[in-house]
Structure 1
Amino acid sequence: MKLGARMMKTGLAVGIALYIGQLIGFISPLLAAIAVVFSIQPSIYRSYQSIIEQIQGNSIGAIIAIIAVFTLGNDPFIVGFAIILVIGLTTSLKMNENTIALAVVAVIALMDTTDQTFLYFAGSRFSSMLLGILAAFIVNLVFLPPRYETRLFSKIDHATNDILQWLRVTTRQLSDEPALKYEITRLQDDMRWVDHTYLLYSEERTYFKGSRFSKGRKQVLFRQLITTTKKSFDVLKAFYRLEHKIEQIPEDFQDAVVQELDKLINAHEKLILSLKGRIKNTHKQSLRQIEEPDIPLLVERLMHVYEESNNPDKLVFLPLASQLMEYHYQLERLKKLLKSYQTHHQDDFIQTSEK
């Protein structure tokens, strides 16, 4: 079993909330632990948003619960009516599901039957829930803050390596079809995780003007990295769909496709290596000049193949040509953005691995 940072944060925050709740003498410190579970977030920015929203949601629940008890009592049907009001109000304010759920828990906890003074009872339970929310925020802020820059690059790097390896195998008609089908499904999930991690990375806030400018350039570069990887994945899917039809085109053209795609793959890999800092600055320019792919010429040759043949089935290769052109275009754009970033931010490296 792999223990993630969020799991450890949740356990630590629950322990802190229970300990402080018992130390202060709250009636129900268990409510603090419940609030923690609903309040832990994957990033500091979302944790900040969550603490504001959770306090608002719990305040709404507490106010409605107190009014309901003093005016209507705490009959079970009154509790249900109060919950309906809280859900309706928090939903209309577009609060998230965790906030709504915790507000409902607040209503149930505050409207419970007790022999104690109601205001003291309600205040103690409401304070317990606020303690849990604050404990979750502090733990998320201090303990193992997420490094989404490193995580994002790692996910892009792994997905790109897998895609490029499968492209090399598939273009040479060496791939196992069931295995490739499974890998395409897995890679689609990987790309969804890349998009999700990029969203979390883009939400991270910087507090210095110079850092904000650098972060903005990094975001643009990462977005282009993701776009380029997705285009390479589109090429892989196009080859997978045409695997049994490749033999319809002349062998010399098949060889040309493999050669040009290899050049694209090599160029893509060199850009990733450059980002990792594994290529010396003095050699970057010479590496870019080695075997530059000429995809427009390849597409032009494909058009000649169509003109020389009356077989309409060969038109199925037009989408492949389009995907190759788009992949080449996005790769060239990535090259320009990377060069620009490395020129203007020589001392601000992208964190590609944990220190």
Structure 2
Amino acid sequence: MKFGARTIKTGLSVAIVLLIAEAFQFQQIVVPALAASLALLPSVYQTGLRLIEEMKGNLIGALLSVGFLLLTPNPTPIAIGFVIIIAISILLFLNLESTTRTVILTTILIMEGASQSDMPVWVFAGERYLLIMMGITVALIVNALLFPPRYERKLEAQITDTFQMVVRIARLFAETEGGRSSFDSLPETKKLHSDSKQTYAYFEEEIKANRWLEKKTPIFRRAVLKSKMIETNRAALHVIEKLDHDFHTIEQLPPQLSEELYRHIRHLLRRHERLFSAYELENEHLIDREEDLIHENFDFAKLMIEKMREEEEELILIVVPLVATMTDWVKAMNELERYLVTEMKKHGDNLKVEPRKKWFFED
């Protein structure tokens, strides 16, 4: 059984905060623990931003609480609710709504506890504020230093898996004539592709969070390459979605045109496979650079339209948008090819991240 990295990091953050709170004999040890669990986010960059936002938001909540306590030493629940409403309104105005939960916690702790404490109000509020910040800071340290995310490896696996599923669907449709069942795994493929885009966003944030990487350009080259691979998968997936959407109409194509459609899809698919294989094997010679898929796609469209004029003209309204999506696929592959070939010639050794065995708790 593998545990999610986020689960392990959350538990570790809470444990460290509780140990620190007990070591310094803080009374409200639950406060920083709760703050740590709320502040832990998927990426180091996001957690860092949250730390800054929490410092601002909770300072606003603490100052409002102290100000109201100076006017009314024994606040009623209605008064506490009123202060919370004011605090949330200020947070929304300053675009700090992500801190709402911890600010509410801070406000309640200060206003409820200050009247029962012998400490001056500002001292009591300052202690609670520091407890919240301690929990959030520990979460950042755990996320950034002890278990930094490895999104690039996860991204590479997701891109490859998406590619393989796209190939499987397209082959079932174009080579085996698998019928509607060819598209059974389409929802799963779309979900995996969506996950790869999200992981890429985290990967970009990971780069931003590690400023020292600015002098190490290979990771930036790999990021650009992976974005083009994601775009190529997206374009291929768009063609498959179009085939699925218009399946019943495409079934009505005359046999000669159906075979031409299958042949063209197979040809595009082979180029897609060769590009990803060239990357995987680090061998640019797998790419046939003599092919001109732009003109071939145009010739395919011209042939289909001419033939359908002789058969059923209404099918043109289906085939033309399909050809447009294929053109998008071809353009994405051409972009990937140009970048891949150029980088292989100049920086072939830096294009792939070295595989590493996963820990049992890693995403």
TM-score (norm 2): 0.88
Change in Cα spacing, 1:71 to 1:149, as seen in structure 2 (3 Å) is: same
Give the alignment of 1:256-295 within 5 angstroms: 256-276=260-280, 278-279=281-282, 281=283, 284-285=284-285, 287-288=287-288, 294-295=296-297
1:83 aligns to 2:88 (yes or no): no
The 1-side partners of 2:351 and 2:193 are apart by 24
Q: C-alpha deviations, 1:270-320, integer Å up to 9, x for none?
A: 2222222x25x3xx3254259775322222211221333354234322211
CA contact (8 A) 1:238 1:320 kept: yes
Correspondent of 1:207 among 206, 212, 216: 212
Change in Cα spacing, 1:96 to 1:88, as seen in structure 2 (3 Å) is: closer
Q: Which residue of 1 aligns with 2:150?
A: 147
Deviation at residue 242 of structure 1 after TM alignment: 2.7
Deviation at residue 94 of structure 1 after TM alignment: 0.4
Q: Which residue of 2 aligns with 1:56?
A: 56
Q: Which residue of 1 aligns with 2:236?
A: 232
The 2-side partners of 1:247 and 1:186 are apart by 24
The 2-side partners of 1:67 and 1:175 are apart by 71
The 2-side partners of 1:296 and 1:85 are apart by 62
Change in Cα spacing, 1:192 to 1:209, as seen in structure 2 (3 Å) is: closer
The 2-side partners of 1:88 and 1:350 are apart by 48
1:21 aligns to 2:24 (yes or no): no
Deviation at residue 154 of structure 1 after TM alignment: 1.4
Deviation at residue 93 of structure 1 after TM alignment: 0.9
Give the alignment of 1:184-203 within 5 angstroms: 184-203=186-205
The 2-side partners of 1:352 and 1:339 are apart by 20
Matched residue SS, 2:248: coil
1:122 aligns to 2:125 (yes or no): yes
Change in Cα spacing, 1:238 to 1:287, as seen in structure 2 (3 Å) is: same
Deviation at residue 352 of structure 1 after TM alignment: 6.7
CA contact (8 A) 1:26 1:124 kept: no
Seq. identity, %: 24
Change in Cα spacing, 1:297 to 1:130, as seen in structure 2 (3 Å) is: same
Deviation at residue 208 of structure 1 after TM alignment: 4.5
CA contact (8 A) 2:18 2:30 kept: yes
CA contact (8 A) 2:218 2:351 kept: no
Query: Given residue 160 of structure 1, which amino acid in structure 2 is its aligned partner?
Result: F
Q: C-alpha deviations, 1:138-171, integer Å up to 9, x for none?
A: 1011122111111112111111211121111123
CA contact (8 A) 2:173 2:182 kept: no
CA contact (8 A) 1:173 1:243 kept: no
Change in Cα spacing, 1:106 to 1:226, as seen in structure 2 (3 Å) is: same
CA contact (8 A) 1:249 1:314 kept: no
Q: Which residue of 1 aligns with 2:164?
A: 161
Change in Cα spacing, 1:263 to 1:354, as seen in structure 2 (3 Å) is: farther
Unmatched segments (≥5 aa) in structure 2: 358-363
Change in Cα spacing, 1:104 to 1:286, as seen in structure 2 (3 Å) is: closer
Q: Which runs of 4+ in 1 moved over 6 A?
A: none
The 2-side partners of 1:153 and 1:12 are apart by 28
Deviation at residue 172 of structure 1 after TM alignment: 4.3
Change in Cα spacing, 1:310 to 1:190, as seen in structure 2 (3 Å) is: closer
1:319 aligns to 2:321 (yes or no): yes
The 1-side partners of 2:151 and 2:86 are apart by 39
Unmatched segments (≥5 aa) in structure 1: none
CA contact (8 A) 1:268 1:331 kept: yes
The 1-side partners of 2:52 and 2:351 are apart by 34
CA contact (8 A) 1:65 1:110 kept: yes
CA contact (8 A) 2:175 2:266 kept: no
Q: Higher mean Cα deviation, 62-71 or 303-312?
A: 303-312
Q: C-alpha deviations, 1:195-232, integer Å up to 9, x for none?
A: 21121112222424442x44443333222211111111
Query: Given residue 142 of structure 1, which amino acid in structure 2 is its aligned partner?
Result: L
